[in-house]
Amino acid sequence: MSDNDVAAHEPPVRDVTDGGPDMVQFLDAEGNRVPITDTNRVYAEYADALTDDELRGLLRDLILVRRVDSEGFALQRQGELGLWPSLLGQEAAQVGAGRAMRTQDYAFPGYREHGVAWCKGVDPINLLGMYRGVNHGGWDSNENNFHLYTIVIGNQMLHATGYAMGIQRDGDVGTGNPDRDTAAMAFTGDGGTAQGDYNEALVFAAVTQAPVVFYVQNNHWAISEPNDRQFTIPPYRRADGFGLPGVRVDGNDVIACLAVSKAALDRARGGDGPTLIEAFTYRMGAHTSSDDPTKYRINEEVDLWRAKDPIDRMRKHLLERGVIDDEWIAGIDAEASDLAAKLRRSCQQMPNPPHAEMFAHAYAEPHPLIEREAAEFAAYQAGFDDD
Amino acid sequence: MTEQKMTIAKALTAGMRAAMEADPKVLLMGEDVGKLGGVFRITEGLQKDFGEDRVVDTPLAEAGILGTAVGLALRGYRPVVEIQFDGFVYPAFDQIVSQVAKMHNRSLGKLRVPLVIRIPYGGGIGAVEHHSESNEAYFAHTAGLRVVTCSTPEDAYWMMQQAIASDDPVIFYEPKRRYHERGFIEMAEEAPYDLHEAVVRAPGHDVTVLTYGPMTKVALAAAQASAQDGGPSMEVVDLRSLSPLDVDTIVASVNKTGRCMVANEAQTFVGMSAELAALVQQECFYNLEAPVLRIGGYNIPYPPSRHEEQFLPDLDRILHGVDTLMAH
């Protein structure tokens, strides 16, 4: 082994804000359009194809998703929710991916993918039930092709891969019919990349060439652990070792996230196999409402990322391009307030489920033990009603 | 109605073949299940007949197999997953317990994961470590799963089809040391028993032996030996289903005999035999002539194979147990 080999395998220095020369970007932190480079060239057609309506739509999504998120956090602080995992700072990463998906594409989220849920048409109120303790998810995944939130980190990467193997068997890949060809998209974070399930999913996807896109939001923190506790080689580069293309995208640039995701999904639907996308972004808030990030990270780091805010840069960009004006922004802000008020009302009015419901779905088919316990529970409860 | 003689191994294959012919969504997944037909040849010939998309040689990663099977099930498939040996299921434990078992409940009944997870289990084959375990209690303890096991070719054939047809996930334990036992199968229109029905294999009136899987043959031999020697009359109940339990059949037998032994290969502590002893105590207390006795594996890790004849309950230990019960 030469000295060069040794050097090549030293862990890279952690720079939390620099995505490096491989990072695909179309909007810089100031909202300026980045020139075409060797890195972003292949994605430029997707960025350039965006109409003014679509650009406005993306900014609207970003603003509304942030408002939904902040309302979720407020509802937790008011005692209406037991927990809330904030997506603050990751709006562009999620909206870019979510808007790249077609109706038939199936999303397999973690538990922070409120922005993807929004783009897939899931009513935000559905996301609150599990955090309020009235269910464990409970929405109809097949209604919007958005699977239930998965709390055990990394499990969903395999579900997406298996689902994509099903797509292959159904022949819904590579037909050229844009309404038929389908992909699965799996979401996790930098912490998730250390899980066995994540790594096994990449193996299965590579050897089967299943139509799945792995979307890693590298938000730099897994609760209190910085991402240098999760990997020494960044996720987009590790993809190569599994035999699938990996690409790093500026996760705070919604146009770049959209373009890169569209390219990967097109590739998957076309029958050319899986892709790994690493969205380089930052978790601006705490891990969840139960977390206290002041114990493990410095404010200066957060400030550096605040200057890269995904909404500020898109708003500035569209204002400068004349695609939006202050009046349009005021209209969206009002829409966001209405959305938040409606969400708050719906949350407060969300009924507690009847307790008998906890027995109802343990099994799909009749099960004598559960039936006996449900009957005993009902009889026991009825005893109190008599008093 | 024709009758065919075949081994448990071949009956399992025939059961899967019938299910695959009946439903194009049924597919098999696992390590070496394709050309090789699995290390025990249970899937032999199926890839040739149904193709590589329906008999899938997977990467060597049990969590990956179970996790992708969940995804396939969500897409509408009915995967039958082979775990190569009992002791290799643990990498998949998280997917089975956290996802397979809970998906229907979590989705309030909107999502189903109709998997069958086949696990060759138990000892007696002179194997190396991790190849002889009876770990059924882990899965019977997990709400959302059904757990069954067979002891005859007829059950192997029918229960496999019933498990595949179930809309709930089923852990299907295959008694690996009995794979080559032969028996007759009625090739009838319908299965002779419900998937979750216990069956009295030998009637008797002094002692009930609750058993299942590979121990059923040992219990039947003990019952026969006792009868030949003019000893106590043993009723052997083959549970077949470990979750849910067929409480009615168990209770009826023990109420009749007044004495109960649970005989299985698994360690007794917090195992199936503990649950069965508790059930019998609760339901048959006033009919019991003696405390429920458990004859099982010792509460140690499965020993090297030179010890396994002493570790596994055999005919003598069961007869000794019967004597203990009758002494009360």
Q: pLDDT tens digit string along B48-83? A: 999 999 999 999 999 999 999 999 999 999 999 999
One domain, residues A24 and A162: yes
Looking up tokens 């380089």 gives A280
Q: pLDDT tens digit string along A11-57? A: 555 568 899 999 999 999 999 999 999 999 999 999 999 999 999 99
Find residue A193's DSSP bridge partners: none
Give the CATH number, domain containing residue B115.
3.40.50.970
One domain, residues A218 and A100: yes
Residues 6+ away with beta carbon under 8 Å from A295: A224
DSSP β-ladder status, B182-187 and B2-7: antiparallel
B106 and A163: CB-CB below 8 Å?
no
CA–CA min distance B196, chain A (Å): 10
| Residue that is last in its domain, among B187, B207, B236 | B187
Mean pLDDT score, B248-255: 98
Q: Is residue A7 scored above 80 in pLDDT?
A: no
Q: Are B237 and B211 in contact (CB under 8 A)?
A: yes
Q: pLDDT tens digit string along A70-111? A: 999 999 999 999 999 999 999 999 999 999 999 999 999 999
Looking at per-residue confidence, does A225 or B2 come out higher?
A: A225
| pLDDT at site A259 | 98
A197 and B111: CB-CB below 8 Å?
no
Q: Choose among A168, A360, A368: nearest Cβ to B244.
A: A368
Residue B109, in any domain of the structure: yes
| pLDDT at site A8 | 58
Residue B193, in any domain of the structure: no
Say how far apart CA A113 and CA A127 lie, in whole Å. Answer: 10
A158 and B168: CB-CB below 8 Å?
no
Q: Are A251 and A92 in contact (CB under 8 A)?
A: yes
One domain, residues B89 and B151: yes
Mean pLDDT score, A339-353: 97
Q: pLDDT tens digit string along B13-48? A: 999 999 999 999 999 999 999 999 999 999 999 999
Give the CATH number, domain containing residue B250.
3.40.50.920
Return the minimum-mean-pLDDT range out of A335-344, B182-191, B313-322: B182-191
CA–CA min distance A362, chain B (Å): 5
A159 and B74: CB-CB below 8 Å?
yes
Q: Are B211 and B263 in contact (CB under 8 A)?
A: yes
Domain extent, residue A380, equals 358-386
- What is the DSSP code string of A269-308? HTTS--EEEEEE----S-SSTT--GGGT--HHHHHHHHTT
B105 and A136: CB-CB below 8 Å?
yes
Mean pLDDT score, B270-296: 98
One domain, residues A137 and A29: yes
Say how far apart CA B216 and CA A61 lie, in whole Å. Answer: 63
How many Cβ atoms from other residues are within 10 Å of residue B310's Cβ? Answer: 10
Residue A7, in any domain of the structure: no
Round the CA-based radius of gyration of chain B to a whole number and report it. Answer: 19
Q: Is residue A6 scored above 60 in pLDDT?
A: no
Query: Count of A–B CB contacts within 8 Å?
Result: 144
| DSSP three-state, residue B185 | strand
Find residue A250's DSSP bridge partners: A280
Q: Are A186 and A214 in contact (CB under 8 A)?
A: yes
B107 and A360: CB-CB below 8 Å?
no
One domain, residues B8 and B157: yes
| pLDDT at site A14 | 59
Q: Are B156 and B214 in contact (CB under 8 A)?
A: no
Q: Are B325 and B293 in contact (CB under 8 A)?
A: yes
Query: Among the options B131, B196, B307, B320, which is catalytic?
Result: B131
H helices, E strands: number in chain B: 12, 14
Best mutation target among A365, A370, A372, A376 (most B Cβ atoms within 10 Å) is A365
| pLDDT at site B2 | 82
Q: Choose among B59, B72, B146: nearest Cβ to A203.
A: B59
Domains contained in chain B, number = 2
Q: Would residue B131 show up in a list of annotated catalytic residues for this protein?
A: yes
% of chain B exceeding 90 in pLDDT = 98
One domain, residues A362 and A292: no
Q: What is the mean pLDDT of chain A?
A: 95
Q: pLDDT tens digit string along A147-196? A: 999 999 999 999 999 999 999 999 999 999 999 999 999 999 999 999 99
Q: Choose among A137, A162, A365: nearest Cβ to B166.
A: A365
Residue A5, in any domain of the structure: no
Q: Is residue A204 scored above 70 in pLDDT?
A: yes
Q: Are B260 and B210 in contact (CB under 8 A)?
A: yes
| pLDDT at site A386 | 59
| DSSP three-state, residue B156 | helix
Give the CATH number, domain containing residue A167.
3.40.50.970
Residue A2, in any domain of the structure: no
One domain, residues A280 and A192: yes
One domain, residues A57 and A155: yes
Domains contained in chain A, number = 2
| Residue that is last in its domain, among B121, B153, B187 | B187
The two structure tokens encoding residue B6: 């075949």
One domain, residues A187 and A94: yes
| pLDDT at site A1 | 43
| pLDDT at site A15 | 67
Burial (CB < 10 A; 0-12, 13-18, 19+), residue A14, is exposed
Residue A1, in any domain of the structure: no
| Residue that is last in its domain, among B132, B154, B187 | B187
One domain, residues A373 and A228: no
One domain, residues A246 and A209: yes
Domain extent, residue B15, equals 2-187
Mean pLDDT score, B116-128: 98
